[in-house]
């Protein structure tokens, strides 16, 4: 039961990646257009004041904002898609119907209990207009509830057979119908338990939101949860629920760090008094992540390169540079982290602790750099192009982080003779991944896992194949290394993770295709 729950939580965490993946690049467009439409930016760059330019920027701003105005819908669809085992398409359709039903039922409950308030006081009691319906501002949680119920209904009712007179409504057509009816009692229960749930989240929030050590605890937990795939769940809780705080900005209530950050960063800007909230918000978003992607990961990569065996340095250089750039440009840190997690778990613990401790200075350096991913692009757009960001303080703190992580890893690698990248015995110059030979990788992976008959299920997250096996004892780990993976481990019995970085989805597709061909 314990393993089943753990596996379910991991799967739930992966389901959150789809909406988050959509939000990241569109958020970049939204961030850029909002920045370029700010009056302070127009004053600095004259051509931005051109009516045609502002019309284009304004149009892109309006188009991109639709994503952030409908975050609950994104989560409803993403969770339904990720959690459903059978027809994922009907699960997504049902999740949208379920979410809209939830909104209306909550509105009915508030009406029957005389709890609906006028527009001026909606924000103060957690109500608002969603898709034209006055309801509780459940935000991402409402979408997650709808997505989970839709996924469950899909798996349970997908093959439901009804009497002949109603046979037309059976099968997959019955899934959205079932979802609709399940959402009615849920919609009446949610307002009653929402108050208690809010209190629980508020009770938890002081740990991560503590002004002294909260940011350190958060980033320690975020790194420490990576091997279990649960760091996305933690991030979502802080970003989208009361656990991340409730903020009143210009008379409007914003739940969670990201919602408040969007308002401050995109709508108000550095000249607004609300900008004083920016450093406290962004340290849980891009500012904190930049310390890892822009400084810590390159420092660890350099330590690995300098400690690589002389004969292996040429080969290791390409691998190390790839995993460093993956983090630097794309905020995918797992390939590098997994490269030492499995050979030196104690070092990974030290790494997680250092990530937490070295983030604490963000409390007093007053750094106000958005947005979510913490890549070099975030730094350029939201750090250098914005005023009042104190980006130089990030450089200084990052430099300290670079030095600390470099010397800690260099010492540990040499002291304990760790087989990090470049220190493997018999290192091979494997270019399959770099040359995108995914079919050849699949031809290595499947036999190394004991053949297609030993593989029960293949899934993937951002950087890892996640495979359920019948018997893990037949897995040939050494053979798997020939595929170009940067890490292999068993988080639980008969379940293996194989790390391929940002190309993992293409590897997974090749594995699926090869298994179908037999």
How far is Cα 362 from Cα 340, in angstroms, rounded to an integer? Answer: 27
H/E segment holding residue 510 = helix 504-517
Beta bridge partners of 127: 136
Asked whether 365 and 390 are in contact (CB, 8 A), the reply is yes
Burial of 384 (0-12, 13-18, 19+ CB in 10 A): exposed
Q: Where are the alpha helices (DSSP H) in 283-390?
A: 286-290, 297-307, 313-330, 334-341, 345-357, 362-365, 376-378
Copy the structure tokens of residue 133: 């319906």
Nearest to 186 by CA among 76, 68, 267, 350: 76
Q: Which residue in the block uniquely carries the two structure tokens 């802080």?
A: 238
- In this structure, the chain runs to a length of 518
Q: Which residue in the block uniquely carries the two structure tokens 């430099």?
A: 399
| b (16+ CB within 10 A) / e for 213-246 | bbbbbbbbbbbbbbbebbbbbbbbbbbbbbbbbb
Nearest to 370 by CA among 501, 473, 471, 278: 278
How far is Cα 295 from Cα 374, in angstroms, rounded to an integer? Answer: 11
Contacts of 33 (CB under 8 A, 6+ apart): 57, 58, 60, 61, 64
Examine the residue annotation and report whether 461 is marked as an active-site residue of this protein.
Answer: yes
Nearest to 283 by CA among 327, 218, 206: 218
How far is Cα 399 from Cα 384, in angstroms, rounded to an integer? Answer: 17
How far is Cα 146 from Cα 187, in angstroms, rounded to an integer? Answer: 10
397, 461, 480, 507: the active-site residue: 461
> What's the order of all strands across the beta sheet hosting 495-499?
455-460, 464-469, 495-499, 487-492
How far is Cα 187 from Cα 108, in angstroms, rounded to an integer? Answer: 9
**Catalytic (active-site) positions:** 461
């Amino acid at each position: 039961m314990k393993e089943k729950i753990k596996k379910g939580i991991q799967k739930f965490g992966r389901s959150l990646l789809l909406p988050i993946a959509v939000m990241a690049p569109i958020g970049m467009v939204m961030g850029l257009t909002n920045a370029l439409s700010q009056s302070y930016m127009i004053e600095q760059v004259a051509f931005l004041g051109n009516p045609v330019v502002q019309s284009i920027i304004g149009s892109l701003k309006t188009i991109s904002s639709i994503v952030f105005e409908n975050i609950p819908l994104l989560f409803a669809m993403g969770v339904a898609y990720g959690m459903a085992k059978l027809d994922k398409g009907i699960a997504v359709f049902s999740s949208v119907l379920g979410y809209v039903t939830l909104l209306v039922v909550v509105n009915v409950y508030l009406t029957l209990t005389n709890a609906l308030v006028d527009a001026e006081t909606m924000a103060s009691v957690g109500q608002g207009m969603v898709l034209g319906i006055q309801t509780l501002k459940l935000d991402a949680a409402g979408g997650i509830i709808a997505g989970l119920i839709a996924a469950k209904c899909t798996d349970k009712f997908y093959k439901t057979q009804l009497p002949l007179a109603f046979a037309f409504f059976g099968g997959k057509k019955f899934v959205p119908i079932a979802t609709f009816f399940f959402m009615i009692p849920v919609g009446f229960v949610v307002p009653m338990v929402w108050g208690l749930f809010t209190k629980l989240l508020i009770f938890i929030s002081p740990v991560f939101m503590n002004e002294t050590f909260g940011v350190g605890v958060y980033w320690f937990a975020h790194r420490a949860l990576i091997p279990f795939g649960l760091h996305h769940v933690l991030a979502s809780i802080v970003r989208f629920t009361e656990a991340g705080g409730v903020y009143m900005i210009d008379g409007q209530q914003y739940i969670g760090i990201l919602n408040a950050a969007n308002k401050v960063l995109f709508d108000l800007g550095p000249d607004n008094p609300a900008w004083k909230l920016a450093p406290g918000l962004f340290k849980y978003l891009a500012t904190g992540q930049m310390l890892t992607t822009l400084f810590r990961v390159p420092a660890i990569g350099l330590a690995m390169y300098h400690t690589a065996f002389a004969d292996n340095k040429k080969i290791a250089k390409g691998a190390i540079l790839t995993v460093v750039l993956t983090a630097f440009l794309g905020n995918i840190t797992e390939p590098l982290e997994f490269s030492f997690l499995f050979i030196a778990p104690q070092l990974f613990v030290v790494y997680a602790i250092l990530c937490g401790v070295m983030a604490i200075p963000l409390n007093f350096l007053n750094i106000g750099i958005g947005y979510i991913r913490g890549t070099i692009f975030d730094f350029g757009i939201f750090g250098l192009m914005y005023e009042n960001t104190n980006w130089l303080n990030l450089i200084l703190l990052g430099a300290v982080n670079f030095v600390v992580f470099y010397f800690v890893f260099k010492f540990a690698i040499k002291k304990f003779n760790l087989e990090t990248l470049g220190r493997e015995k018999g290192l091979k110059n494997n270019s399959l991944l770099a040359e995108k030979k995914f079919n050849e990788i699949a031809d290595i992976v499947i036999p190394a896992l004991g053949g297609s008959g030993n593989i029960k299920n293949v899934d993937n997250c951002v950087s890892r194949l996640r495979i359920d096996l019948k018997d893990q004892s037949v897995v040939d780990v050494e053979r798997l290394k020939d595929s170009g993976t940067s890490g292999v481990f068993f988080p639980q019995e008969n379940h293996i993770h194989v790390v391929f970085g940002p190309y993992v989805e293409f590897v997974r597709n090749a594995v699926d295709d090869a298994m179908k061909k037999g």
